[in-house]
A and B are shown apart, each in its own frame.
Chain A
Amino acid sequence: MAEESQNKLVYAGKLGYSFRRHLHERFIETFLFLSAILSVAIMLAIIVMLVKESVVFFRQVSIWDFLTDTQWTPLFDDAHYGILPLISGTLVSSLIALLVALPMGTIIAIYLSEFAPFSVREIAKPFLELLGGVPTVVYGYFALLFVTPLLQIIFPELPGFNLLSAGLVMGIMIIPYVSSMTEDAMRAVPMNLREGSYAMGATRFQTSIRVVMPAAFSGIAAAYILGISRAVGETMVVAIAAGMQPNLTWNPMEPAATITAYIVQVSLGDLPHGSIGYQTIFAAGLTLLLITLVFNIIGHLLRKRYREIY
């Protein structure tokens, strides 16, 4: 009998201790929850900050002018606030980059996933990863001082700053992102689909194009979308190699500023906080965020629509 009550005491002591333990657990869980919710807070902060400053900007400049004026000269006496020249620069350089990155990235991914022997893949994958780790400012240097002179041999009239060289280098830079995500998606396709295809007498190429790629479509779409947002948001390569003059053009042989290059240009100067010049970079940033957001939503819808579950 005495022994039993003693046991109860021991349990009671343990229970008291475990209440503290419970508090400790709750405390940690709260910290972990707060750090997880922080990512949502960051997203909200980005949107609030961009919208807040842009609202002040759009009180002085009408949205109509912003979207239709063909000149972007906010820092001149004769100020024009038309975003079109920056958008054209962004689109042209991104388009060139994507014309390089998407086909090359896809071909490399198919090769590595379906054709390459194990040893080649083990060497090539880390190499591509290193390629993706090179700082963008270094790629900018490379575009300005290596690729542009090289292109000038072919096109002697090419100016020192141009969208072509920036876009090409940006494309090379994006290849690793596209290829690694595409390859992951293709490798996730179950083996028996391939085996079925081979059993029908298909070659590896036919299997990759007609069986594996459609099955991996949602992952490949995600890779492409990521590549597009990278190209649109890339800053240093275009700021260094494409020049900083806003220029409404669709000709890649000309110099032109992108949205990102403009933000860099303004930040390098010393604009007072609260001036209209200061607000323009937020309006430009909001435009950029909206463009990437549209692509992200398209990607999300594509993934949902075509998701294959095995």
Chain B
Amino acid sequence: MRSEKSLEEIRRIISLHKRLDLIFMITGIVALMIAIMTFMALFAHMLIDGLPRLSWEFFTSFPSRRPESAGILSAWVGTTLVMLVTAAAAVPLGVGSGIYLEEYAPRNLLTEIIEINVTNLAGVPSIIYGLLALGLFVYQLGFGQSILSAGLALALLILPIVIVATREAIRSIPITIREGAYALGATKWQTVSDHLLPYSAAGILTGIIIGLARAIGETAPIITIGALTFIAFLPPSPVKNEFPFVSFEWLTAPFTVMPIQMFNWVSRPEEAFQLNAAAAGLVLVIMTLAMNGLAIYLRYRMRKNIKW
């Protein structure tokens, strides 16, 4: 059968498609570059504005009406304490439900509902969690506009991230490990706690770090709870001189966190405050980049080392 197109035409079509291929490849590189350059621009802009403000005093001073003496002491202390609550709540619950869904859950309707629900929760806008926390924790349960409310709100927010990471880490362990443990008479929980959890620890840790990095930068839910933007004092210390040496008063203390401090400074018209915002943003970005970087590194090492 003779082709209806002449050789000339076919050559033309081939070279056209080859050119299209090349054009697309260049478009792809350009798109990637735009994304990366934007990030560079963002970082450079903050570095230029914020770096001169970064000094020891910036970390050890309270916010102030005078921009040049204002600092982020109450903000970073608040962030640290809120993260403690978030981790304390999200890690056991997230890892626990990850284990349940992967190892214990029977195949039934309820399990399917839970699974769909975890996916849906991940798509709920963060500010909605703030509204939930405002109605439930602040007023219904009476925790007030406190570190406890904020920490729990962020814990709910990152729960899906921890659950998904736990499930993926546990799923990647081959079934033979479980069979080996059961063959030696181990119970389900012994199998999980002595084998599955240690082997998946790096993967779970990666998920927890990514979740906490997300929580550190979250602003909207904490504003919704009603965190104050101007706090010139520290929450009560968790360590006491007299018995029982630990105190949980700080849980109910009013607070501010890094992103809120930054938001407060950005929304002021004076340029001097915006320099402070740049400096706070720089600290915030470096914190989240370090955490995400650590997670990426952990995952990279894991992929390299583990061969089942």
Give the interface centre of B104, B125, B292 by most chain A CB atoms within 10 Å: B125
- Does A63 reach chain B (CB closer than 8 Å)? no
Q: Output the least CB separation between B35 and chain A (Å).
A: 5
**B266-A36 in contact (CB<8A):** no
In the complex, the chain B residue whose C-beta lies closest to that of A208 is B24
Q: Output the least CB separation between A243 and chain B (Å).
A: 11
**B189-A130 in contact (CB<8A):** no
- Does B36 reach chain A (CB closer than 8 Å)? yes
- Does A229 reach chain B (CB closer than 8 Å)? yes
Chain B contacts for A276, CB-based, 8 A: none
Mark the stretch among B131-139, B171-179, B242-250 that contacts chain A.
B131-139
- Does A28 reach chain B (CB closer than 8 Å)? yes
Q: Identify A289's interface contact among B36, B113, B124, B219, CB under 8 A.
A: B124
**B285-A115 in contact (CB<8A):** no
Q: Would A25 and B189 be within 8 Å (CB), given that A32-B96, A46-B128, A135-B219 are in contact?
A: yes
- Does A75 reach chain B (CB closer than 8 Å)? no
**B296-A129 in contact (CB<8A):** yes
Chain B contacts for A144, CB-based, 8 A: 266
Chain A contacts for B229, CB-based, 8 A: 268
Chain B contacts for A139, CB-based, 8 A: 42
Task: Please report the C-alpha to C-alpha distance between residue A116 and residue B31 in the assembled complex, in whole angstroms.
Answer: 13
In the complex, the chain A residue whose C-beta lies closest to that of B262 is A137
**A288-B29 in contact (CB<8A):** no
Q: Output the least CB separation between A245 and chain B (Å).
A: 14
CB neighbors of B among A201-222 (8 A)? 201, 203-206
Q: Would A39 and B223 be within 8 Å (CB), given that A134-B217, A138-B284 are in contact?
A: no
Q: Would A45 and B17 be within 8 Å (CB), given that A28-B189, A129-B296, A134-B285 are in contact?
A: no
Q: Output the least CB separation between A151 and chain B (Å).
A: 14
Q: Would A282 and B213 be within 8 Å (CB), given that A39-B118, A110-B28, A264-B224 are in contact?
A: no
Task: Please report the C-alpha to C-alpha distance between residue A111 and residue B24 in the assembled complex, in whole angstroms.
Answer: 8
CB pairs A–B below 8 angstroms (30 shown): A25-B187, A29-B188, A32-B99, A35-B93, A36-B97, A36-B114, A38-B97, A39-B97, A39-B117, A107-B27, A107-B28, A108-B35, A111-B32, A115-B28, A128-B35, A133-B213, A135-B216, A136-B218, A137-B284, A140-B263, A172-B38, A226-B123, A233-B124, A233-B126, A236-B219, A236-B259, A264-B127, A267-B225, A270-B226, A282-B131
6 further A-B pairs in the complex, CB-CB below 8 A; given A233-B126, A264-B223? A29-B189, A127-B39, A133-B217, A134-B285, A141-B266, A260-B220
Q: Which 7 A-B pairs have the closest CB atoms?
A: A233-B125, A135-B217, A111-B28, A35-B96, A36-B97, A235-B220, A32-B100
